[in-house]
Amino acid sequence: MRGMLKRIGWELWLPIVVIVAWWVLSSGSQSFYFPPLSKIFQSFHQDWLFAHVPTDLWPSLRRLLAGFFIGTALGIVIGLILGVVRPLEVAVTPITEFFRAMPSAAILPIMVLLFGLGVEMKVAIIAFVTFFPVLLNTIDGVRALDPLLGDVAKGYRIRFMDRMLYMYLPAASPQLFAGARVAVSMSVIAMTVSEMVGTPGGMGYFVLDAQRGYAIPSMWSGIIALGILGYVLNKLFLLIENRVLSWHRGMTALQG
């Protein structure tokens, strides 16, 4: 318990110092674009505790989770196949590298043409940016498996699906989760960008609409809310990762 409190203290001391400094330095601000932090906090209380939770936060969260799970599932399945079938992986590498380097803002017009301006477009963009980190890390995780184990599995005529589920997937899990953790942050960015176009609603639309209406404190409150959302999702993902990969850390400790 003491160790956990110490870790939390080390994690929170710098944000607290930054907030206090921001509060003090901005207290006398007369700038229209950089209002006092106290005014931003007042808008945050009005907007996100809890007026805009049902209209903006929950829709954004649903879209984010849907896109993240679709992209992650596709990345795992295709990554396992490409990791095992080396010639196929070599063949698709140029295409993978091409689309991996493409930012979500650049793919936005294509998604609008394909899916329109509704929810489907927003989920598709989130799934797109989630897919590649998971895919590439899954391939690397499969490649890290000792080739001798693959030869033994073939020698014993273990079925392809059983090898995928009970040998390659566990071996790739640590790197798979590393890719998925990167994808969590990228999916928040993609969610925000996608919501700034198309149908109203969502946290990204809230920030843009506040900026257009010159409601600057509300704009800042939306940005802070997005940062808090990303932080909370990352922490929840770490808890899930630690639980799922507890066997791997136990094995690593024994080997060390």
Query: From CA 67, how far away is CA 191, in angstroms rounded?
Result: 9
Annotate 194-231 with b (16+ C-beta within 10 A) or e (fewer): bbbbbeebbbbbbbbbbbeeebbbbbbbbbbbbeebbe
State the CATH number of the domain containing residue 153: 1.10.3720.10
Q: 3-class SS at 201? A: coil
**Tokens 């090898």 found at:** 163
Residue 19 lies in a domain: no
Average pLDDT over the chain, rounded to whole?
87
Residue-level pLDDT at 50 = 82
pLDDT digits (tens, 9 = 90+) for 99-125: 887 777 788 888 888 898 889 999 999
Has residue 146 got a pLDDT over 80? no
Query: From CA 146, how far away is CA 152, in angstroms rounded?
Result: 10
- Cβ pair 216, 201 in contact under 8 A: no
Percent of the chain surpassing pLDDT 70? 95
Residue-level pLDDT at 250 = 57
Query: From CA 102, how far away is CA 130, in angstroms rounded?
Result: 12
Domain that holds residue 222: 36-255
Query: From CA 63, how far away is CA 65, in angstroms rounded?
Result: 6
Q: 3-class SS at 12? A: helix
C-alpha R_g of the chain: 22
Query: From CA 79, how far away is CA 177, in angstroms rounded?
Result: 13
Name the nearest CA neighbour of 83 among 201, 167, 197. 167
Residue 2 lies in a domain: no
Name the nearest CA neighbour of 215 among 52, 28, 10, 17. 52
Residue-level pLDDT at 147 = 75
- Cβ pair 87, 126 in contact under 8 A: no
- Cβ pair 111, 197 in contact under 8 A: no
pTM of the model: 0.89
Mean pLDDT check: name the lowest of 8-12, 48-52, 91-95, 193-197: 8-12
Domains in the chain: how many in total?
1
- Cβ pair 166, 132 in contact under 8 A: no
Residue 104 lies in a domain: yes
Q: 3-class SS at 33? A: coil
Has residue 44 got a pLDDT over 70? yes
Region 7-23: what's the mean pLDDT? 87
Residue 30 lies in a domain: no
Residue 188 lies in a domain: yes
Mean pLDDT check: name the lowest of 22-26, 75-79, 87-91: 87-91
CB atoms within 10 A of CB 16: 10
Residue 4 lies in a domain: no
Name the nearest CA neighbour of 191 among 16, 71, 20. 71
Residue 228 one-letter amino acid: I
Question: Which secondary-structure segment (H or E) carries 207?
Answer: helix 203-212
127, two tokens: 């799934």
Q: Is the dihedral of CA 70, 79, 193, 196 positive or negative?
A: negative
Residue 147 lies in a domain: yes
Residue 68 lies in a domain: yes
Residue-level pLDDT at 52 = 87
